[in-house]
Amino acid sequence: MVKKGIAAVVAALAAAGIAGCADRTQYTTVDGVMLGTTLHVAADVKAVDRKTLYAAVMALDAEAKASMSIFDEESLLSRLNRNETDSVDRHIAFNLRLADSIGRLSDGRYDVTVKPLVEAWGFAGRERTENPNVDSILQFVGREKVRIVDGRLVKDDPRVELDFNSVAKGYTVDLLAALVERFGAENYLVDIGGEVRCRGVNREGRPWRIGIETPFDGNMSNGEYLQKRIALTEGGLATSGNYRRFYLDSEGRKVAHTIDPRTGRSALSRLLSVTVAAPTCAEADALGTMFLAMGADDALARAESLPGVKVYFILAGEGDAYEEWVSPAMKALIMN
């Protein structure tokens, strides 16, 4: 399956009039770093200043990393993976439940026990192995090998390890949205590394406009090359793609961070980018990962089988051209 990389969604805030004058509503903005990536908040919080809001956001950042980070050796998830504890907190319990619901849609392509494979291929902060022995690793990969019983994580094999990078960022976006709502915001956009949740309108009184990047290999432009813009007034949006986090092996073959847990190898296809809109960013994040891992044909078939799903696919076409597929429910959100 997948270790989620940097999402391809970029909030087109300049175009949305964030710096405009003649404001209808006073918006507080916060910019910085969260979960090791970019942070942007624009919200009509009514009873808190920027400094107080920033402090609350940073406290949430620390809480999320202390729970779910695979890069922090002292996080709860890292200790669970090393079998130093079996107690789970609310964040890990929620994400495991969500992983189960998405996994049932994926025919085995979405599986949060994929961490040993992701690590072997060099996408979990460890040095990669040239041609890892995936068959030996697959013996302890599988969602059925781990469960929660009475608040405790039970593993069938102690080598089972969890990786929530395919959903944790979207989930934290949802926590951030809940935070600004507790501060009284009725209109807001929160963005962590391109994963977005919003409500209401921007300060021009229009829907929030979010740009979807053109998925050419190595595109790190953060919004300079956009394929489409999405207009959103409620819910979460996330994009998955294999065009940023990849490398070429010694034989020149592309190895990307999206790993199929059935084969233990990169799940590469002509499906280059998947954008999903959903009620929560956690759902959008996980579904985007799922579709990308399924590959073009299976992802298209599955999307067509899910009434109401809001998804936008960018696929490789002839030569350097792109093909696009937009689900009926998503079409209303695409800006011309």
Q: What is the pLDDT of residue 221?
A: 56
**Which token pair is 248?**
């070429």
Q: Give how many domains the chain has, as a whole number.
A: 1
> Looking at the predicted structure, is the pLDDT value of residue 32 above 60?
yes
Q: What is the pLDDT of residue 220?
A: 52
Give the pTM: 0.87
pLDDT band of residue 24 (cuts 50, 70, 90) is low
Q: What is the pLDDT of residue 215?
A: 81
57 Cβ partners below 8 Å, 6+ apart? 30, 32, 34, 39, 41, 176, 179
**Which token pair is 59?**
């406290």
User: In terms of residue numbers, what domain contains 320?
Assistant: 1-336
d(CA 152, CA 240): 31
CATH code (residue 169): 3.10.520.10
DSSP 216-275: -TT---SSSSEEEEEEESEEEEEEEESSSSEEE-TTS-EEESBEETTTTEE---SEEEEE
